[in-house]
Structure 1
């Protein structure tokens, strides 16, 4: 509230053409421009508000106790008038109370329509409260006060009625909303303009994931006009924000337009599970397989010489499998796998799995096999096989079968011999019968050329007949007893 100041008149006397001219400066101040919600206040030296105001200034409130004195210098102490005028935005409007006190008369107008009328000369302060509904938007309130005689005091205010049973008007949707995203910090800042509601209690900020609905509980509540979201997941997904205003009666506005934010993706996929060797053949290398991971764009394979050893990266694959062609035959390795998403985020490593590349190459064929007939069978001998991982020799013996043109050795395994043995005595063969033989070399991995190819170097020999007993001679043909 600004107190009134004295306005003085200054007389100036000039000599002109032998005459005296008297000029008096005007006492009314120039019209004041007052920023809403301040009032423009005008003082009149009458009770009809006629003519030019004696003084115009700005006032923050209508609340005066002038008593029996003049309200401003140059005005009378009786029969004067004061007018307050304010135009402001009431937002969504709603129910308001207009309480007044005055000695003497007071009238209150809303957009030119009288709402309060206590227009009489009184000796004590009179009071009244008018309940009105103010529409949304900009409206003008005017207060006219007059003092005819005696003491002068006046007060007026306009306040929202916020009881839930009375106020059913929703606030306006906040305007000027926007959202900005800082990829470096992963934070989103939502901003909006201050709402015009006089009974505003605050704002509620909501967030939803694309494809889902807003929840009943807001992300945050604030009385300010911005909110920084520090809990936004950095998953590369799109989220939407909206802001709703709510008043002291509990009424809430509709939401602002959805404002999207696509976050930086710093969330790695889950670690692969189910890692295990699926093929350990020498020809194809050691192949690994694992369960696919949702969101994975590729996988990285790591290898070490032991489960707790230092792992080095072997390579990448887009499929949930990998062939280690560099694994040494017979060497056991430990493997771990990670999943990598499209943003380059790498998961934790899987549990370790071990695998050994299998030896699929059989030893060289056994050479130098000989079958020497003896009185009770055959003596088999052969050259030592040079395979470094030789485990045994398998000796096969059987009968030679013929279909007239081709002969086939129908043999079975008759003996296993250690790598340092290169001979075998094959016995219990009827005199004079043919037998076929071959020897197969088998390495420590169980590789056998014969079992892999069905081929072998076969030798055939005839067992010696038994010698004639002494003193017996064949009978001459035709001889009789």
Structure 2
């Protein structure tokens, strides 16, 4: 009888511990990092027990209570803030959620949108360019140069000035020649620009068209 009772008590203890473990809020998210080449993208380490994440954003450094809800129900461990504008510094924190509660907030991280992504693919006597959408931009200008460097060393392609789309195919090229491209996003009056006044400049990409 004593052994049966002892085993029963031990089994109850195991079930109690297991039950407690399954009714805990997830661990606090860690490893929060950011890239700000457009859009601002957050990444973090998965939290034990988390089923989703909540993103908070503010325009001043401070406690999570000073920030506003940016996104909820994020299932992965990264998030692209496509609503961030060029100029302001944004401050982010995240929490993890499951059915039993919400974690404490992560450490805070700040980011300023300083560029946006441009990709280039070589084609037959053409360079195919595509870039990320920039919030509030009214148009885009495509610049081309013969050497790598700042956009000031490149020249705008006349046919690619004032574009409203997110792609351009440059056919005024020579096969086997390396071309360097950047795109300039133009902002309306009243927004906060980064470089130069009234514009934001993409990353640089090189393309070598084929025959």
TM-score, normalized by length of structure 1?
0.24
TM-score, normalized by length of structure 2?
0.50
Q: Which structure has the greater CA radius of gyration?
A: 1
| Bigger fraction of residues in strand | 1
**More contact order relative to length (CA 8 Å, sep ≥ 6):** 2
